[in-house]
A and B are shown apart, each in its own frame.
Chain A
Amino acid sequence: ILNVEQSPQSLHVQEGDSTNFTCSFPSSNFYALHWYRWETAKSPEALFVMTLNGDEKKKGRISATLNTKEGYSYLYIKGSQPEDSATYLCAFIVSESGGGADGLTFGKGTHLIIQP
């Protein structure tokens, strides 16, 4: 059974502050890690697809890092805005003979609330 852990479970942040949260995953048999943002009443939307150890990806004020050797990824949000309020899900893909498994193994998510 694959275990993908996200912490914290929920987070309240003041508007303008920066924040970060963690995704831990099995360090063996790594294929890829995805980050998704899920706003209330909307579809989960991909933020990043990360495949290489040491990967750093950035989209506007949001960035992510990846350490496959120790099995963790950090998501950073700089200067939080109310529109950043959402659940952030990470999803792990295990490596299987030449590619990845057909399916995402999700964490429970970090529920982020930005307070004005």
Chain B
Amino acid sequence: DAMVIQNPRYQVTQFGKPVTLSCSQTLNHNVMYWYQQKSSQAPKLLFHYYDKDFNNEADTPDNFQSRRPNTSFCFLDIRSPGLGDAAMYLCATSREPWSGGWDTEAFFGQGTRLTVV
């Protein structure tokens, strides 16, 4: 059974129209991450939540926001999508943060492929 679920799998949005991607987990993990992978590039961390604490990467554009209303759900909001935001967006979880000295793997969803038209 899928433990990290992303919806939708494919999302087409219009240039400049706000869009929300969702992620849910059944693992009860404390940490949730959002990664962006553009074509032929490495996945890049956008931000993560440790419980309710939000941590933004320094180079994540302001256009990207996130919400975590409870342990199970995390959302990625793109306020005004541009053509350059077309990518695969991966949600991941880990039981505890690596900053706490934990040797734990990350669990990923299948990703949402975002197309901007």
Contacts and interface: CB of A to CB of B under 8 A. Distances in A.
Interface of A: 4, 31-32, 34, 36, 41-46, 49, 51, 89, 91, 93, 96, 98-109
Nearest to B91: A43
Interface of B: 2, 4, 31, 33, 35, 40-45, 48, 50, 55, 57, 90, 97-111
A30 B109 CA distance: 27
Contacts of A106: 35, 42-44
Contact of B101 (A4, A91, A98): A98
A49 B41 contact: no
Contacts of B44: 106
Contacts of B43: 89, 104, 106
A99 B97 contact: yes
